[in-house]
Amino acid sequence: MCETKGTIMRFVLAGIALAGLGACSTQDLSQAWAEVASFNLLTETRRGYEESYLDIPFEAGAVVAIAEEHGDLHTYSLTPCGDGRICGLNGQAGDLQRTRDHFVVTGAYPNRTFYLSPGGDGFLNWRGENRDLAWN
């Protein structure tokens, strides 16, 4: 327990030191403090773990996603088709965007936006509702 408190205290002191250095430069102190205050160590550690050890969408090519819609399971084929585009099974090309936590595919299937997380999960936004999905 004491070791954990010591680690947290070192992190807080490092943040204060960074904020103090910001005052010595042309960087605005409030901006530096906001960056330190908004840093979430657990979230950043999770992201680093996912990038290092989990499967990344489209890294090995096509992705097949499965999600529930109106009581039935539906599968979706999402295939890279060049220039950062992702094509659905019907050949319709959609856009791929990367956020800090998801690979977001829009336009490959009508009325559907896919949010693929590293590791094989995510969610499907269908008609304004988020539905859990799995991908491989």
- Is-contact 50 117, C-beta < 8 A? yes
CA distance 136 to 127: 24
Domain assignments of the chain as residue spans, ordered by start? 2-39, 63-135
Q: What is the pTM of this model?
A: 0.70
* Per-residue pLDDT tens digits for 43-86: 788 777 777 777 889 988 999 999 998 889 999 999 999 888 99
Between 136 and 8, name the one with better pLDDT.
136
Query: Which amino acid does the sequence have at 54?
Result: L
Where does the pLDDT of residue 29 fall: very low under 50, low under 70, confident under 90, or very high at 90 and above?
Answer: confident
